[in-house]
């Protein structure tokens, strides 16, 4: 059995400190598809070219995700993490564990 991922929400947006108007794009389905590929091994390359279909006008971009990681043992963790464009996230280890 391998790791599985359930993306609850993934947002790609302009960095709030760089713009008066923050454009946010729901990229949940795209990120779920990327992480469903067994070759991803839970690693996500955060770039506009990889996650979005069209380019945005802002210079500084950021990404945020809430995701449940299901370990091969059956253990589950829901995590929140965010980063800037160009980052590489290991979803199994990035961010903080959430408890709802």
* Distances in whole angstroms, Cα of residue 68 to Cα of each of 23, 45, 52, 59, 85: 25, 18, 22, 30, 22
Using pLDDT thresholds of 50, 70 and 90, give the confidence band for residue 51.
confident
pTM of the model: 0.86
Q: What is the pLDDT of residues 78-87, one digit of tens each?
A: 999 999 989 9
Rounded Cα distance between 98 and 92, Å, is: 13
Q: In this structure, what are the phi and psi dihedrals at residue 7, rounded to the nearest 5 degrees?
A: -80, 120
Using pLDDT thresholds of 50, 70 and 90, give the confidence band for residue 4.
very high
């Amino acid at each position: 059995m391998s790791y599985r991922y359930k993306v609850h929400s993934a947002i790609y947006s302009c960095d709030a400190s760089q713009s008066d108007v923050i454009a946010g794009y729901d990229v949940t389905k795209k990120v779920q598809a990327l992480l469903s590929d067994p070759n991803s091994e839970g690693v996500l390359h955060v770039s506009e070219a990889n996650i979005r279909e069209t380019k945005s006008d802002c210079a500084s971009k950021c990404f945020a995700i809430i995701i449940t990681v299901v370990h091969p043992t059956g253990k589950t963790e829901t995590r929140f993490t965010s980063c800037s464009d160009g980052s590489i996230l290991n979803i199994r280890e990035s961010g903080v564990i959430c408890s709802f």
